[in-house]
Structure 1
Amino acid sequence: MSSFDKREEGFEKKFAHDEELRFKASARRNKLLGLWAAEKLGLTGDAAEAYAQDVIAADLKEAGDQDVFDKIRADFDAKGVQQSDHQLRRTMDELMEEAVRQIQG
């Protein structure tokens, strides 16, 4: 195997590893976000855990975070939870940072 082939293989492995970490961090963020939103919705215990799983599942509908945002936004609106779009997106960003710290730690 030439050094070019070895280098290419190294880049492919790093890319696969980075994608796996991104997926894990996103799933972890969605669980944290689901638990946070469940609290705002007045859910506790098993109901909060089930809601967090629903948030994780919502992320599988389309690429990106919009599907998760839309689910929580709709649920907040249906229950009268006062949370601006900006606050929701900021919480999503903060929890992503937390999820990355947890994955790396």
Structure 2
Amino acid sequence: MTTFDEREKGFETAFARDQDMAFRITARRNRLVGTWAAGLMKLTPAETDAYAKAVVQADFEEAGDEDVIRKLLGDLVSANVDIDEARVRVALDQQSIEARRQLLELK
């Protein structure tokens, strides 16, 4: 194997590892923000767990965060929580930071 091949393999490995970490951070973030929203909706612990899982599933509808934001905002408004899209986006950003912190602590 040449040096070039070794470097290419190293870059491919690093890319795959970075993509895996990004996926894990997003999934954890969605679970955390689902738990946050469930708290605002005053759900029971069992309902909270189910809701957090539903938020994680919602992220598979389309690329990006819009599907998650749409679900959270729709559910919160339906539950008569006084909230706007900006606050949901802030919560998403905050939970993304927390998710990254949690996963880095696990390593």
Q: TM-score normalised by the shorter chain: which range applies?
A: over 0.9
Gaps of 5+ in 1: none
Q: CA deviation at 1:83?
A: 1.3
Number of residue pairs the alignment of both structures matches: 105
Counterpart CA distance in 2 for 1:29 and 1:44 is: 20
1:7-64 CA distance string (max 9 Å, x none) = 0110000000000000000000011001000011110210110000100100011111
TM-score normalised by length of structure 1: 0.97
Query: 4+ residue stretches of structure 1 with deviation over 4 A?
Result: none
Q: CA deviation at 1:80?
A: 1.4
Match in the other structure for 2:19: 19
TM-score normalised by length of structure 2: 0.95
Alignment of 1:1-105 (within 5 A): 1-105=1-105
- Identity among equivalent positions (%) equals 42
Q: CA deviation at 1:68?
A: 0.4
Counterpart CA distance in 2 for 1:18 and 1:57 is: 21
Q: CA deviation at 1:67?
A: 0.5
RMSD: 0.7
Q: CA deviation at 1:4?
A: 0.6
